[in-house]
Amino acid sequence: MAVPSEEPPRSGILAHIGHTPLVPLLHIGRGLPAPILVKCEHLNPGGSVKDRLALAIVEDAERRGLLAPGATLCEATAGNTGMGLALVAAVRGYRLVCVMPEKMSHDKRAALSSLGAQVVMTPNAPPDDPENFQQVARRLATENGWFLTDQFCTPVNARIHEETTGPEILAQAGGSVGAFVAGVGTGGTISGVGRFLKRHLPSVRIVLADPVGSSLAAWVESGVPGGDGPYLVEGIGASRPSVILDRAAIDQAERISDEESFAVTQRLVREEGLLVGGSAGTAVAAALRIAARADRADPVVALLPDSWDRYFSQPWMQAWR
Ligand code: PMP
């Protein structure tokens, strides 16, 4: 007999968000004291780790009665959260407006529009500037009565990783994880996975992989954000931490240059068959350093956030041809 449940069962493709594979690297890092395992979030239906968040935010808002049928969602997104939300909005019958800074790739813009979302571009403005993408999204939502999905502030963000990504990693790794490495955009992934793993494995090291130019590595080390410089890797790094980024869940940071991120990304594609974007290279570059310094053989787990298809038009990937 079916067990009665308050939640309607997820149907169609939404039932296949999460439960992504955890696989060992076969070539990169061979011979290091600890193996590297990668969590393949690029294999989610929308091509990124953000599918988990998109579904969780919409289901949380539905549960709280905040979304009338056909409601409009509005998000400040570098692209991946938009893709996840566009997928969920399409299946659940909502409209979506995405506000993104113009440094983000054309591929991401084209994909969002093709999925039916409206894309609003903003200049690459700092957080205090009224033209900053997060401020513009907030203003548009208030003016138009749209539901602000608010990935940078909502507690749903870290919680979904604490409830799904973290437990999946621990189970798939057979209960042993020496370190977990991830880049940080909103900080939802590292805060949620970090909190879960630390609760179950007190000796695990949680490592923030930060682009050179981002201020977050200095913040992890001293509590004060460091300098603010340009870099090309998309979706990670910041000039200051978001309110949901949990410093207590993070043990250390590694600074990774664009050059190193993109070189490792190319190796992930060509040697491992992992068709991932640049921030995956940042995480694995940091994981290689951690694995090289390891004094025990517990695996180092790196999270691969998104798929390579959103970067085909970027010069760093065009240079591979
Ligand atoms: N990599 C990419 C490509 C992303 O778009 C994001 C999210 N902005 C991240 C990594 C970081 O994930 P989180 O927001 O959970 O910190």
Domain ranges of the chain: 12-43+159-318, 50-148
Reported as a single tens digit per residue, the pLDDT across 100-117 is: 988 777 878 888 999 999
- Of residues 79 and 320, more confidence is placed in 320
User: In whole angstroms, what is the distance from residue 68 CA to residue 72 CA?
Assistant: 9
Quick one: fold of 50-148?
Rossmann fold (3.40.50)
Class of domain 12-43+159-318 (CATH, top level): alpha beta
Q: Which of 38, 41, 42, 50 has the most ligand 1 atoms within 8 A of CB, as the residue to mutate?
A: 50
Residue 80 CA: nearest ligand 1 atom is 5
- Is pTM beyond 0.85? Reply is yes
Q: What percent of the chain has pLDDT over 90?
A: 88
Residue 279 CA: nearest ligand 1 atom is 1
**Per-residue model confidence (pLDDT) at position 1:** 38
Check if the beta carbon of residue 279 is closer than 8 Å to that of residue 233. Answer: yes
Active site residues: 50
Q: Please, where are the H alpha helices in the chain?
A: 50-63, 80-92, 106-114, 133-144, 155-160, 166-172, 188-200, 216-222, 258-272, 278-293, 315-318
The CB of 101 under 6 Å from ligand 1? The reply is: no
* 280 CA to centre of ligand 1 in angstroms: 10
Q: List the single range of 10-19, 47-56, 73-82, 312-321 with lowest mean pLDDT.
A: 73-82
